[in-house]
Amino acid sequence: MSIREAIVWANCDHPGLLPFEGTLLADSDPERVYLVSPFLEFGTVVSYLVANPDVDRRLLVRDILRAVAYLHNNSIVHGDIKGDNVLADATGRAVLADLGLSRLSDVELLTWMSIHTSSPSLGTLPWLAPEILGQIRAQQPVCPSIASDVYALGCLIYEIFTGNAPFHEISRGYHYVSAHYRITTDVLHGRRPSKPTPNSPPYLHHGLSEDIWAVMEECWDRDVKARPSVQQLLKKLCFTNLADHRPILEDF
């Protein structure tokens, strides 16, 4: 973890972002820096929804959109938006975590994949925008952007309303290497996460609507310039004028 990444996170101040509490140096490896944040007992938003299936999922999406809007308004790219990186606090609000990969969008971006592996893990790949997958396949520097964050948001919204990761049918049905290749190839050829049927739980029980599905499709536009900004997403009717009766927690 670079000092620059720690500074980016430390300077973020928004209720929808997991707070930065400091750094920890490991005695066994003085060159390794750990970033410290609060522990949220409800875990990820995915596990929270399994335990609380009847909550208004639109509120959780709005929480996340507000947090990402804050980042983008400050020229910060998150770079790894997915369900495993969104936590639920004690009030049932979504909190965006794992800001360790965040970058300032107005500087040359480092290849974040190279920090961890030579290629993305299957746990990250289904959320990656086609332009990012193209850079990986061409062995070019990987440059997450505000537009690729928006694409990932579409995948996260899909995850929240369906309970499944994008391309879950591929991830479960193929060997790791085959799934990696299949998802990359399919996305580069225009495939997007599969739409649930009208009689499926996402529509019948989780609050998925055609308006919300249309939001996802806008986020998944292959043309990065055609994707909406997060501020535009927040103005969508499906995420405005929502009744929010969750308690307010002053501190974590």
Query: Which pTM was predicted?
Result: 0.86
User: What total of structural domains would you count in the chain?
Assistant: 1
Residue 252 lies in a domain: no
Residue 244 lies in a domain: no
Here the CATH number for the domain that contains residue 81 is: 1.10.510.10
pLDDT at 250: 60
Residue 247 lies in a domain: no
Residue 169 lies in a domain: yes
Give the DSSP per-residue string, the chain. Answer: --HHHHHHHHT---TTBPPP-EEEEETTEEEEEEEE----TT-BHHHHHHH-TTS-HHHHHHHHHHHHHHHHHTTEE----SGGGEEE-TTS-EEE--GGG-EETTSPPP-HHHHH-SS--TTTGGG--HHHHHHHHTTPPP---HHHHHHHHHHHHHHHHHSS-TTHHHHHHS-HHHHHHHHHHHHHTT--PPPPPTTSHHHHTS---HHHHHHHHHHT-SSGGGSPPHHHHHTSGGGSS----PPP-S--
Q: Each residue of 61-82: pLDDT tens digit?
A: 999 999 999 999 999 999 999 9
Residue 245 lies in a domain: no
Residue 142 lies in a domain: yes
> In this model, does residue 244 exceed pLDDT 90?
yes
Residue 118 lies in a domain: yes
Segments forming the whole domain that contains residue 30 = 3-239
Residue 248 lies in a domain: no
